């Protein structure tokens, strides 16, 4: 768990590894997703602490994104309690492949933030809301897709996008975990065992990511998305 959280602190897609692992050990799928959401609260706390001091954009934009995230993720969490989790077998691999395609064809960003057009800002907020629903529903690849959205719509660098995405994922997992807890869906014993390790791994991974050049951070991010997309196509669609 420490290694998984350290490696995915910058790349995202933690849930694509942790949820299947819990299911393989006999945890019921809905309980695995709910318990993983509680783990993400601790992991994102450690990651956000590791990225503390990294510029995440204007305060006004951050407040808007947090409110959008809380609203969308609350809806996604309630949806997860109603919809069969088997639907994710098509959604997740498709989303990962779409992100990979975007990363391969999108222009490289410099460390100087770009000034986005007005329509891009609006589209960025819409994308953040749509992704927040998915984040509260399952969260597998949520940070990965947020990073891709922020680099494209807001013109942020990868490091800034990752720091912002982790902060929003904290808000998303917090509201979703609260809803799952109120419905008795979380395995607290398992969450307590893995939570501390998730926090420590994410903190170490975030501190390491801040020292990497933008080019290498992008390469690691793209490579991780490619591997996860291949993993989803080979193992999750069977």
What local confidence, expressed as pLDDT, does residue 110 receive? 47
pLDDT, tens digit, for every residue of 136-178? 998 877 888 898 889 889 988 888 888 899 899 999 999 999 9
Cβ atoms < 10 Å from Cβ of 226: 16
Closest to 36 measured CA to CA, from 19, 11, 12: 19
Whether the Cβ atoms of residue 35 and residue 22 lie closer than 8 Å to each other: yes
- 3-state SS of the chain: helix, strand, coil percent to 5? 80, 0, 20
Q: Rounded mean pLDDT of the chain?
A: 78
pLDDT, tens digit, for every residue of 105-129? 655 554 455 577 888 899 999 999 9
Q: Is the pLDDT of residue 234 over 70?
A: no
pLDDT, tens digit, for every residue of 89-104? 566 566 666 666 766 6
Classify burial at 230, counting beta carbons within 10 Å of its beta carbon; exposed 0-12, middle 13-18, buried 19 or more: middle
Q: What token pair was written down for 236?
A: 């999750």
pTM of the model: 0.78
């Amino acid at each position: 768990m420490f290694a998984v959280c350290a490696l995915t602190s910058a790349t995202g897609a933690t849930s694509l590894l942790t949820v299947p692992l819990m299911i393989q050990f006999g945890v019921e799928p809905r309980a695995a997703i709910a318990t993983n959401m509680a783990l993400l609260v601790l992991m994102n706390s450690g990651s956000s602490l590791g990225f503390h001091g990294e510029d995440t954009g204007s305060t006004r934009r951050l407040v808007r994104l947090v409110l959008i995230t809380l609203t969308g993720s609350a809806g996604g969490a309630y949806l997860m309690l109603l919809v069969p989790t088997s639907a994710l077998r098509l959604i997740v691999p498709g989303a990962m492949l779409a992100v990979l395609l975007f990363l391969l064809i999108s222009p490289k960003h410099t460390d100087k933030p770009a000034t986005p057009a007005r329509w891009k800002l609006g589209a960025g907020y819409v994308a953040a809301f749509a992704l927040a629903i998915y984040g509260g529903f399952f969260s597998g690849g949520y940070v990965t897709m947020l990073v891709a959205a922020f680099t494209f719509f807001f013109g942020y660098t990868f490091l800034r996008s990752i720091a912002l995405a982790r902060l929003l994922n904290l808000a998303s997992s917090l509201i979703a975990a609260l809803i799952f807890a109120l419905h008795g869906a979380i395995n607290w014993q398992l969450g307590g065992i893995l939570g501390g390790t998730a926090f420590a791994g994410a903190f170490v991974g975030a501190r390491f990511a801040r020292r990497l050049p933008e080019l290498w951070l992008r390469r690691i991010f793209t490579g991780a998305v490619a591997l996860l997309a291949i993993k989803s196509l080979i193992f999750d669609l069977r």
